[in-house]
Amino acid sequence: MGPKTTKIYETLRARLAAGEYVPGDKLPSERTLVEELGIGRTALRQVLARLVSEGQLEVRGRSSYRVPGAVSVQRPEGLEPWRIHGERDVYDNRWVKLQLWDVEPPGVERFEHHVVRLHHVAVTAVIDDQDRVLMVWRYRFVPQQFGWELPGGIIDQGEEPVDAALRETVEETGWRPKSLERVVSYQPMVGMVDSPHEIFVGYGAEKVGEPTDLEEAGHIEWVPLADIPGLMARGELMGSGTLVALLHILAARRTQGLTTAQ
């Protein structure tokens, strides 16, 4: 895409990232966007096609674009949460805190439940224009195996998650993403462990140096997205953050493909 087309692409991506269009919303018509953005219809369709390929939009009909993610299921009502009567520390250091919580589920006698508190984490999947994702091949001593991971790490106190995602990517790979968008926040072991994970997706990156985080350093490679299912089947994708981010990307693209075929 040329400079003007790229600027329009970035404008629409910024609007989507800012939530100007919520899941299920229909984008303005091509005629409206052409007039508003001052771009030709052919160039606009090129921009929209790229946003569709990235999972940012989905196609309904011939030229109707919507923001994916609308849901029909309703939240159940009338259910009661657990009551928490207190908590006490069993072990605490800068990396991990082990606690016992005094809890009472509805209709069940109260008891003490172990809770592990870990850090807030950011993980980033960076995609280039060749449909490759930036990954690190490294050794993890807990499972005692090598595997592919996305760059990521701890969000420092007072640090914005997006800033941590950018910093960790640069420190671990030497590549700086051109843009980042948070796609989901989740808990990897919700029954006992408190460790919020923020997942970001970025498009495009520039080489700014060599990795500086030697503890997390490994072999850096741009891995084709087409290889992800095979690597998953071989058990070579390490960590829930890596799996969640990559599955999100693959699911968005599959949904786009199915929608387009309708």
- The pTM for the full model equals 0.76
| Domain ranges (residues) in the chain | 3-66, 83-117, 121-261
Average pLDDT over the chain, rounded to an integer: 89
Note the CATH number of domain 121-261.
3.90.79.10
Phi, psi angles (nearest 5°) of residue 35: -70, -40
Structure tokens, 238: 């390490």
The pLDDT assigned to 256 comes to 52
| Range scoring the smallest mean pLDDT among 33-47, 110-124, 139-153, 219-233 | 33-47
In which band, very low, low, confident or very high, does the pLDDT at 262 lie, cut at 50, 70 and 90?
very low
In which band, very low, low, confident or very high, does the pLDDT at 258 lie, cut at 50, 70 and 90?
very low
Mean pLDDT along residues 179-189? 91
3-class SS at 14?
Answer: helix
- For the cut 90, the answer to whether the pLDDT of residue 147 exceeds it is yes
Q: What angle do CA 97, 124, 207 make, to 5 degrees?
A: 125
The pLDDT assigned to 216 comes to 72
- For the cut 50, the answer to whether the pLDDT of residue 261 exceeds it is no
| Range scoring the smallest mean pLDDT among 69-78, 151-160, 179-188 | 69-78
The pLDDT assigned to 46 comes to 87
> CB under 8 Å to 193, separation ≥6 — which residues?
115, 116, 117, 118, 187
Mean pLDDT along residues 111-135? 96
User: In angstroms, rounded to a whole number, what is the distance separating the alpha carbons of residues 93 and 103?
Assistant: 24
In which band, very low, low, confident or very high, does the pLDDT at 1 lie, cut at 50, 70 and 90?
low
Residue identified by tokens 């439940």 is 113
* Topology, domain 3-66: Arc Repressor Mutant, subunit A (1.10.10)
Phi, psi angles (nearest 5°) of residue 39: -135, 150
Q: Smallest Cα–Cα separation from 133: which of 14, 248, 49, 25?
A: 248
Mean pLDDT along residues 180-189? 91
- Between the alpha carbon of residue 237 and those of residues 61, 82, 119, 188, 203, the distances in Å are 36, 35, 21, 15, 21
Structure tokens, 202: 């970025």
User: In angstroms, rounded to a whole number, what is the distance separating the alpha carbons of residues 202 and 231?
Assistant: 21
